[in-house]
Amino acid sequence: MVIFKIIIGLLRLPFTMLPGTATQNRATKMYRDGVRFQEKGLLEEAIAEYDKVIERDPYFVQAYCNRGSAYQQLGKPELTIKDLDEAIRLRPKLALSYSNRATAHGAMGNFDKAIRDMNSAIYLNPKFADFYNARGYLQKQAGKYRPALKDCDRAITIDAKFADAYNTRADVYLSLNQPEEAVGDLDEAIRLDRRFTIAYVNRSFAWTMMGRDTEAQADVDMA
């Protein structure tokens, strides 16, 4: 899902630090240890390292961002929001902080807040297709189908090879009871990524809506 891709994007954020002090060098090492743990899926260990970073350097923005993403992966969106609030306070022009906070708000069903945060992310980085796709997903979850389609269209305009955006748009079409349009988008998503499991599942559902059970079963088998 695109939302998780956005979260992982935080792991490789560049960071700028003043050189020369032992405290800063130690914080940097602990931060990198946290990143390595998080990339391996060792989330509790990663959080422990980010805790140490923040204790040593409470202005280390990336540690708040990554700890927030780890909390999100653990299903703790309230803690994610708390960390991202602080990251945004410290660096209000970091687009990924807003997008990750949007993810957390969305997980809690607070779609209006989530969409507002994605608006901020897009304002700060208007050429990043993932943000439009993520907002499209949130719009769809909020029942705002036409704005969702518009966001997916924009994501595809920016990156025509973005398989996730075709899948998201297809999901919107399914919600609008337009399975034929969904199949077209899912065909493209699968062409771009033959191992895109959820696209096969969605296309199976679309075939079922159209009464084409043979094709539906074939996609279930592929998924």
> How far is C-alpha 213 from the geometric centre of its chain's CA atoms?
33
Do the Cβ atoms of 142 and 111 come closer than 8 Å? Answer: yes
Do the Cβ atoms of 11 and 35 come closer than 8 Å? Answer: yes
The domains of the chain, with CATH numbers, are 1-125 (1.25.40.10), 155-223 (1.25.40.10)
Contacts of 71-79 spanning 24+ positions with Cβ under 8 A: 71/47, 72/7, 72/100, 72/103, 72/104, 72/107, 73/4, 73/7, 73/43, 74/43, 74/44, 75/107, 77/103, 77/104, 77/105, 77/107, 77/108, 78/104, 78/108
pLDDT in tens, 158-210: 999 999 999 999 999 999 999 999 999 999 999 999 999 999 999 999 999 99
* Distant-in-sequence, close-in-space partners of 159: CB < 8 Å, separation ≥ 6: 129, 165
pTM for the structure as a whole: 0.85
**pLDDT-based confidence at 25, cuts 50/70/90?**
confident
